[in-house]
Amino acid sequence: MKKWMSMLLAGAMLTGMLAGCGTSLNEPDDSEPQASDTSFDGSISFIISHKDEYLGTLDQAAKAVAESQGFTLTSTDCADDMDRQIDYVRAAAENDADAVIIVLADDTRAAEVVEAAGDTPVVFLNRIPQDTSVLDETHVYVGSNEDDSGTYQGEMLAKALEAEGKDSVNYLMFEGTAGLVHTTKRSEGVLKALDAANITATAAAEPVDCGYDRAKAMDQMTVMLANGVDMSQVDCIIANNDAMALGAIESLRQNDVDISGIKIVGVDGTNAGLQAISDGSMLATVYQSAVGQASAGVQAAVNLATGADLTEGISYDTDADNENIIWVPFEKITADNVADYF
C-alpha cells in the first residue's frame, strides 16, 4: 500500500504534464516528479458516495493530490445515502469550506446539492449530473466520458471475437446501480459496439443489478448457476466494473466452472483487474484514471475557490459544447498493454 500511495502521489504531481503531452499516466517516464508550484491554504471538503474498490482509490488519490499542494482535504463517506450527502454539503458550506468536491450518490439530485452548497463552489467528480444544466462557472464536472466506457468494452470484445471468426455471442451482464447514468451508458454502449461490428449479442440470462459490488456479483453468479445457466453456452461476461467481473470469476471457480473459454470484460483498471488480465482470467478492462480524476478535480476546486480560470494547471480537455466539463479520457487495456499499467 505504501508503494501504491507513493505512485499515486507521484502520478498526481505529474498529471498535468503527462496529459498535456498525450502520455498515459501509467507509461514509464524518466523525469523526476516536481512539487506543485500551487499553494492553497483554504479548506476543501470531499463528500463521496461510498468507498468501493475504485472510489476508495479515488479518495486516497484526492488526499495525496491535496498533500502535494500543501493542504489537507477532508473526506466524508455518506454510505450511498443521498439525503445524508446533501446534509454534509450544507454543513461544509456552513463551516466555510472554500469548495466542495462530490461523488454523487444519486446523479438525479445534483440541483439539491447546488442549493445546499449556497455560494460555495462545487466540483462534481466521477459521476456526472443527469441534468447538466446545473453546471456553470461555479458548479463544474470532472470525470471520464461514459459514452466511451461501454463502447471500448464492446470494441475489445468484437476484436477478440472476430479473431476467432465469430459473428455472434451469448453473454451475461453484471450491472452497477440501476438508474445511474454510467450504469446505463456502460450497458448500452457495449451492446451497441458489438452491433456496430456486426456481431449478434444474445443474453444467456437477464442482466443482474449488483451495485458495482464484488460480493453481490459473486452471489448473483452463484444464483444463476443454481438456476441452471449453462456456462458452456456462455461466450462472455460483461461487467460494468472490474469488481463485479472478479466476483463472477470467483463464483465460477468455486463451482468448478472452467472459465478459459469465456471472455470477461470490466471497467476501471483496478489493480485486481489488471492482475486478472495479466494472468488470463479477464480479456480486457477500460482504464478510468483515479489519479487523473483526483488531480483534475482537486485542482478545479482550488481554481474555483481562488477565482482562477477553471483549467489553470489542468491539461485535460473541456467538453466541446460545455466549458464547465473536464474530461479525463478512458483507455483500453488488454493483455497487449496491461504491463504498462502496473
Give the mean model confidence (pLDDT) for residues 124-135: 97
- This prediction's pTM: 0.86
* Arithmetic mean of pLDDT over the chain: 90
**Ramachandran quadrant class, 208 (left: phi over 0; alpha: psi -120 to 50; beta: rest):** beta
Give the mean model confidence (pLDDT) for residues 26-44: 53
The Cα–Cα gap between 118 and 290 comes to: 28
DSSP state of 330: -
- Is the predicted pLDDT of residue 33 greater than 70, yes or no? no
Share of the chain above pLDDT 70, in %: 89
Model pLDDT, residue 25: 35
- Is the predicted pLDDT of residue 159 greater than 80, yes or no? yes
* Rounded (5°) CA angle 211-47-176: 10
Model pLDDT, residue 39: 75
The Cα–Cα gap between 315 and 15 comes to: 8
Model pLDDT, residue 72: 86
pLDDT, tens digit, for every residue of 85-129?
999 999 999 999 999 999 999 999 999 999 999 999 999 999 999
205 burial class (0-12, 13-18, 19+ CB within 10 angstroms)? Answer: middle
SS3 call for 201: strand
pLDDT, tens digit, for every residue of 287-319?
999 999 999 999 999 999 999 999 999 999 999
Lowest mean pLDDT among 29-33, 62-66, 196-200, 334-338: 29-33
The C-alpha torsion from 21 through 27 and 31 to 36, rounded to 10°, is 70
β-sheet bridge partners, residue 112: none
Q: Taking a C-beta distance cutoff of 8 angstroms, is the pair 264, 233 a contact? A: no
Residue 327: enclosing H or E segment and its boundaries? strand 325-327
Which pairs with CB-CB distance under 8 Å and at least 24 residues apart come from 268-273? 268/53, 268/54, 268/241, 268/242, 268/243, 269/242, 269/331, 269/333, 269/341, 270/53, 270/54, 270/57, 270/242, 270/243, 271/4, 271/342, 272/53, 272/242, 272/243, 272/246, 273/242, 273/245, 273/246
Phi, then psi, of 290 in degrees rounded to 5: -65, -40
pLDDT, tens digit, for every residue of 196-234?
999 999 999 999 999 999 999 999 999 999 999 999 999
pLDDT, tens digit, for every residue of 37-59?
457 889 999 999 999 889 999 99
Give the mean model confidence (pLDDT) for residues 235-254: 98
Sign of CA dihedral 100, 288, 323, 33: positive
The Cα–Cα gap between 10 and 169 comes to: 42
Residues 6+ apart with CB under 8 A from 268: 53, 54, 241, 242, 243, 285, 286, 287, 288
Model pLDDT, residue 53: 87
Closest CA to 292 of 72, 67, 14: 14
Residues 6+ apart with CB under 8 A from 222: 251, 254, 255
- Is the predicted pLDDT of residue 6 greater than 70, yes or no? no
Model pLDDT, residue 274: 98
